[in-house]
Amino acid sequence: MKKKIVVIPGDGIGGEITDAAVKVLKKTAAIYHLDLSLDQKMAGGTAYDACGDPLPKETVEAAQNADAVLFGAVGGDKWDNVDPLKRPEKAVLGLRKALGLYVNLRPVHVSPVLAPYSPLKPDIVTGTDVLIVRELIGGIYFGDRCESEIHDGVERAWDLENYSVPEVERISRFAFKAAQGRRKKVTSVDKSNVLATSRLWRRTVTKEHKAYPDVALNHMYVDNCAMQLVMNPGQFDVILTENMFGDILSDEASMITGSIGMLSSASMNESKFGLYEPSHGSAPDIAGKDMANPIATILSAAMLLRYSFDLDREADAVEKAVQAVLTQGYRTGDIMSEGCTKVGTCKMGDLIAERIG
Ligand code: IPM
Ligand code: MG
């Protein structure tokens, strides 16, 4: 079985972390006799600098013709003042839209070896196992917006939040099905005490739930959820939420694990095609210094094997290799603590690759 993966490093630490993940994928392919082709393409600020477009047509076409995409990260202060339509973030948003990637999965799992390093008390975080199911191509991210307009001599800007019933239905179905394979509980997060879109969201989720009587459903306001996540993360199984709330809550949830450098992510469409990327950003301040934690990207590569290629055994092998390296005390700077061995991005990738199979 030949599989085509397009690798898009992007900006900042993107190159270093995707290099580490590619090393792990190549080792996995060698051990398990997989025929993977890996083709690298440009996107983000780097692409903007090279050709004036953060998402070149060639990159979109390559992604459309691939079986999966491994993505690094995009963005950086350097591009803060470019035309908003050419910002590096347009690359990842444009790819999500072009590929119809409506579901974003962000698993937050606290492994016993890392529980002591969470900024929260170990007894609060131990055993945390949450799957965030974030709607990815709707809501305020993709609504109409106006950068600037003048009314009665006053300048304003606006962004429109907008959801349709079918958009909420399909993401709800995904969340309920995911919960069936887990602890059978969905918490739908909204702000229905204020927003019309959230009231439509809540109504629609409640209606879809009727087809999944084996799954428990509760609703929670987003502000309360932000608090509950740090107070009692163990209460959550699947968190189902809209695009922007999911963006914010997933960053918050990642810190439960000790570092955002650990949080992987999968974005998928109806035909199992996926784009896999760490949940964190491009960290321009540490780019090129061999300091970034590549684990989120490596775990994203494991999700790629599992979800797009149905290679559970190979995905397990990658996840086990990550656990082995952590158990043996190797750490990048972000998760470093006394008595552990500090390693760089490249070395961390090597150590994980060595432990495959
Ligand atoms: C994420 C990122 C992106 C988002 C940015 C880079 C556009 O923060 O994947 O969480 O907001 O979705
Ligand atoms: Mg984010």
List CB contacts of 185: < 8 A, sequence separation 6 or more: 179, 215, 216, 217, 218, 236, 237, 238
C-alpha 247 to ligand 1 mean position (Å)? 6
* Ligand 1 center–CA 210 separation, angstroms: 32
Q: Is 342 a catalytic residue?
A: no
pLDDT at 113 over 90: no
Q: Is 248 in the pocket of ligand 1 (CB under 6 A)?
A: no
The C-alpha atoms of residue 35 and residue 14 are separated, in whole angstroms, by 24
Dump pLDDT digits (tens) for 275-295: 999 999 999 999 999 999 999
**What is the share, in percent, of the chain residues with pLDDT greater than 70?**
100
pTM (two decimals):
0.95
Residue 39: predicted pLDDT: 97
User: Is 93's C-beta closer than 6 angstroms to any atom of ligand 1?
Assistant: yes
33: exposed, middle or buried (Cβ count in 10 Å: 0-12, 13-18, 19+) = exposed
Residue with tokens 């775990």: 299
Ligand 1 mutation target, pool 77, 85, 89, most atoms within 8 A of CB: 89
Q: For residue 35, indicate whether it is catalytic.
A: no
- pLDDT, tens only, 313-334: 999 999 999 999 999 999 999 9
Whether the Cβ atoms of residue 241 and residue 190 lie closer than 8 Å to each other: yes
Confidence grade of residue 114 (pLDDT, cut at 50, 70, 90): confident
Asked whether 177 and 237 are in contact (CB, 8 A), the reply is no
Is 141 marked active-site? yes
Among residues 251, 290, 347, 350, the one annotated as catalytic is 251
Check if 11 is active-site.
no
